[in-house]
Structure 1
Amino acid sequence: MVEARTFPTIDIRGVNTILLRDGSEIRLEDIQSSEQGRAILDEIDGAILAIEDQIALGFQSDDPSWKVRAEIALKRKRRSRPALQARIGELRRAEKALAIKDTHANATSKVDAKRQAFVHAAYELLGHETCVEVWALAQEKQPALFTEGGSS
């Protein structure tokens, strides 16, 4: 799960609360991945096209107010797109930063594991006294690395 910055907001249907085709609602803050946001955006785009087609073709209904309701629904769907696109952008950036961080952590841990394997093999091959001498020489050459603030 990726965490992006969220600020407390008032729920406004069609702006930060999106009505889905199945009748359920989802708040922008509840969208957890860019993939999920993209699927919702695709659903909104499909609904917009369907409503536009109904209005253009003059969908016939016994209810005289259907066109007004369709235009209101179209406005709400269009109004929700920019906020959803912004949320998808936030999530993509957070996912990308997490992927970079994970890649760096894996590379660092692999390098550290190689160094540790080398030290163990050198200790086994050279013996305790020689390794103590090498440690003292390294400390003499780069004392900053062996101080309290440096890494061990």
Structure 2
Amino acid sequence: MNIPSAPIRGVTTILLQDGSEITLDAIETSAHGQAILAEIDEAILAIEGQFAFGRETDDPSWRTRAEIALKRKRRSRPLLQERIGVLRRAERSLALGASQAAVSSKVDAKRQAFVHAAYELLGHEACTEVWARAQQKQPGLFADGRGPDA
């Protein structure tokens, strides 16, 4: 689904119950989006309930305004759900990336500890020979030209 580029009041700019407005792009977390979606669903149910129970009013334009509000609320739901989905995927990706970075840094720390211990046990000459041998076996990994001390 493609979100329209120009804001449409009541659809891509959502009217909240407190009278404020928020654009879909301003929703920064999936939890915030879920709260707004719950508010929209509540408003839809309230309007439908007023229609079902034949709410009487002295204002002849009430029904027209209520129908327009209902239509806008219903049209904003899929766009908001899409935004929530995008935010959830981004949040999951960020969480997964953080956990992978933690694992990666732990593995890197273990490798570094191994290299330092091997350097202490084998000495500079032997480590330089191992480095040269590794460079011969996989030259693509050593393209930066840095030596074993880097």
Q: TM-score range by the shorter chain?
A: 0.7 to 0.9
Q: Indicate whether 1:115 and 2:120 are aligned.
A: no
Partner amino acid for 2:65?
R
| Distance of 1:142 and 1:55 partners within structure 2 | 74
Aligned length: 147
| Distance of 2:78 and 2:3 partners within structure 1 | 17
1:73 deviation in Å? 1.2
Which residue of structure 2 lines up, in the alignment, with residue 3 of structure 1? none
Which residue of structure 2 lines up, in the alignment, with residue 138 of structure 1? 134
Question: Identity rate of aligned residues, in percent?
Answer: 68
Counterpart selection for 2:91 from 84, 88, 95: 95
Are residues 122 and 60 of structure 1, via their aligned partners in 2, closer, same or farther at CA, if it must alter by over 3 Å?
A: same
1:7 deviation in Å? 7.7
SS of the equivalent of 2:55 reads coil
Which residue of structure 2 lines up, in the alignment, with residue 33 of structure 1? 29
Alignment TM-score, normalising by the size of structure 1: 0.82
Give the CA RMSD over aligned residues: 2.6
1:91 deviation in Å? 1.6
Question: Is this contact kept in 1: 2:4–2:12, CA < 8 A?
Answer: no
Alignment TM-score, normalising by the size of structure 2: 0.83
Are residues 53 and 127 of structure 1, via their aligned partners in 2, closer, same or farther at CA, if it must alter by over 3 Å?
A: same
Which residue of structure 2 lines up, in the alignment, with residue 84 of structure 1? 80
Q: How does 1:46-85 map to 2 (within 5 A)?
A: 46-85=42-81
| Structure 2 unaligned residues grouped into runs of 5+ | none
1:74 deviation in Å? 1.0
Are residues 70 and 8 of structure 1, via their aligned partners in 2, closer, same or farther at CA, if it must alter by over 3 Å?
A: closer
| Distance of 1:9 and 1:31 partners within structure 2 | 16
| Structure 1 unaligned residues grouped into runs of 5+ | 1-5
